Amino acid sequence: MCLIVVGLNQVYIVYMGDLPKGDVSVSNIHIGMLEEIVPGVASDVLLYSYGRSFNGFAAKLTQDEAIKLKGKEGVVSVFPSQKKQLHTSRTWEFMGFNKKMRTSIIESDIIIGMLDTGVWPESESFNDTGFGPIPTKWKGTCQKSANFTCNKKIIGARYYLTDGDNGPEDFISPRDADGHGTHTTSTAAGGLVSQASLFGIAKGTVRGGVPSARIAVYKICWSYGCSDEGILAAFDDAIADGVDIISLSVGSSIPFDYFEDSIAIGAFHAMKKGILTSNSAGNGGPTPGSVVNVSPWSLTVAASTIDRKFVTKVKLGNGQIYEGATINTFDLKGKMYPFIYGGDAPNLTLGVASEFSRYCFPGALNATLVKGKIVFCEYFTDYEGVLEAGALGAVFQDTGNKDFQFSYPLPFSTLNVNDGRMIINYLNTTENPTATIFKTSQDNNQFAPFVVSFSSRGPNPITTDVLKPDLTAPGVDILAAWSEASTVTEDDTRRTRYNIISGTSMSCPHATGAAAYVKSFHPTWSPAAIRSALMTTAIPMTSNNNIEAELAYGAGHINPLQATDPGLVYDAGEIDYVKFLCGQGYTIANIQLISGNSSSCSEETDGTVWDLNYPSFALSSTPGKSITRVFHRTVTNVGSAVSNYRAVVNAPPGLIIQVQPSVLSFEYVGQQQSFVVTVGAELGNSMISGSLIWDDGVHLVKSPVVAYASIML
């Protein structure tokens, strides 16, 4: 049961767990509770009443009034609402997931709920040609709007708007004004569209992971963010509407309680109904402990590269060519233009010295001197300074990471420090320097896949011994559909039907599509079984490119085709998570409210974090200490009826992994076998990792084993 309260200047969420039993009007319960706190104005302050999938409401209250609600019987938690932020081609082929892949006959019955900025329904990616009737299990609706129409591909659409969330550019409908929601939705389940590109860049066929799947749109994000009360309202509807997978590429600061987080709350109730929630891990990397959306009942997805990178070359008047890292959509046709150093064009009118103008901050440049020229800037800040000064283009020296690119509203490239020094020397020794910036070209990324620098890293900030993120998927320079109401970049006037952007927002829908693909072959599998299949079949990665290893990429890089036949799965359901919550110190009263039943905690039922039936193994301790943990696990046979799996342990020096029994024998599909893993580690100030693989000669059921020093948080 859950309740959201909005103070005069603040929104509070009051979570009350599962729906009450019997024929009860939850909205009447909510109004009754509010009448006790704010007599006579309960209906006026009520914003949302949740009663389809869990119980709660949103209301405008002061902090003192919210505190009074916190003390009432039946309340699990009260916490301030936040504005969460968005975690902002050939990606499927890179994963071996091509147009000729095997598909399920029920793929078109799979419904993906996309919680995002809405969608641009006219995009060719959402064409419903060839689609049959809408699945009979669908209980949702297409919210009436003058500018939005559903079809047999987009079968439902809703929007959730709280006063003050929207800006003048927003559509008060499920229509996407931003582009983010259209991009993520087409990545997960868009149809095949040939000759798609961003002004000729990355031209090819784009598609989603499950092109035949249906889409249900839940618009939760507006110009000023994605409110917790809207997120919970969308979960409440999506669960009851009958979606199979929920995809959510948003997040915010890290909560330290699962039930003070709207996404974790919604995902818990989705799990209870057999719906997996796929979440982005966040864009706070490479800072340790920056990962968000870490509830153990959801899937947490990091972002990694594919075997394609974009380069933007700069040519000088002396013939030298330097390779930069942006997405430049402008074509100067190779024409050479006057090239000026920002330090030679200070805005003296404002008293700017060359020591400052060389960085090209807004207001720092002399517009008369730079207008119509390409400007070189010594430090990457932003494009605004050169754009407002009327420059034709810009080349920035950049000390930051070059493993992802952005587009800009003018010809633009960023170079490393060494190349920057060469250009400064050219500018200082040439009487009339010139340069041109080439349109972006495509090159091979031989190091792919590796986790990109911005992708949030573990350890898990709430439950340190549950490894997060779970896995990684493509999230760098992804081409997908775009809203035609949005421009290519900010401060831009150009529109496009397809755009290239990066973020864990882009990796999440790749995992969503993969999960939906697995679900189409195994419609009765639980969310935990689907997540297990994705994790244990993931392609192993190496710390050569990511020193944080599993704290960056989890179980590895997603492998959708293999995930349909994992051999064994680590299954878990509500009772397992209730035991986990008991072990985490939640009270019996709160657990009964959350679960909606008479669950209890005791020495027999309390589950340690190491006994949660998770497909990975993690343990942590203070630096310089020895640590030993015992893990109890159960696997379910979903492969060959008669099979024998042998434990294969990979453990570097300093890590000991023992498995009992070391052989698991199965006689039928669905049979379960349990085993115990004892892990010992000598910890320094970092981490050490190995793996456990169950091998039957056909399947390799892989799990990472990670020990790390708590100083990494």
Is 267 strand, coil or helix? helix
Within 10 angstroms of residue 179's Cβ, the number of other Cβ atoms is: 24
Residue type, 24: V
* Residue 197 annotated in active site: no
Strand residue runs (E) in 440-532? 441-444, 471-474, 478-481, 498-501
- DSSP-assigned states of every residue in 651-665: --TTEEEEEESSEEE
Which residue has 């009074």 as its token pair?
68
Tokens 């209250």 map to which residue? 61
Helices (H) and strands (E) counted in the chain, each on its own, are: 17, 37
- Which entry of 104, 108, 173, 180 is annotated as an active-site residue? 180
Nearest-CA neighbor of 702 among 712, 711, 689? Answer: 689
Please say whether the beta carbons of 28 and 87 come within 8 A.
no
Smallest CA-to-CA distance from 247 within 213, 224, 207, 196 is with 213
CA gyration radius, the chain = 27
Please enumerate in sequence order all residues whose Cβ is within 8 A of that of 134, keeping only pairs 6 or more positions apart, or say none.
152, 155, 214
Q: What HEC string does 567-590 produce? A: CEECCCCHHHHHHHHHHCCCCHHH
Question: For 563, phi and psi rounded to 5 degrees?
Answer: -65, -15
The CA dihedral of 416, 421, 426, 428, to the nearest 10 degrees, is 140
Burial of 608 from C-beta contacts in 10 A (0-12 / 13-18 / 19+)? middle
The Cα–Cα gap between 473 and 559 comes to 9
Contact 658, 678 (CB under 8 A): yes
Q: Taking the CB of residue 73, how many other CB atoms lie within 10 A of it?
A: 7
CA 500 to chain centre: 16
Would you call 600 a catalytic residue per the annotation? no
List, in sequence order, the alpha helices (H) in 430-526.
504-521
Question: Which among 628, 662, 646 is positioned nearest to 695, based on CA atoms?
Answer: 646
Residue with tokens 């993931």: 538
Catalytic residue among 18, 116, 237, 465: 116
Query: Is residue 666 within a helix (H) or strand (E), and if so which, with residue range?
Result: strand 663-666
Helix (H, G, I), strand (E, B) or coil at 551: helix
The C-alpha atoms of residue 317 and residue 182 are separated, in whole angstroms, by: 42
Q: How far apart are the first and last CA of the chain?
A: 32
Q: Which two tokens stand for residue 143?
A: 């919210």
Q: Is 505 a catalytic residue?
A: yes
Catalytic residue (choose from 407, 486, 502, 505):
505
How many CB atoms lie under 10 A from the CB of residue 113?
29
Provide the annotated active-site residues: 116, 180, 505
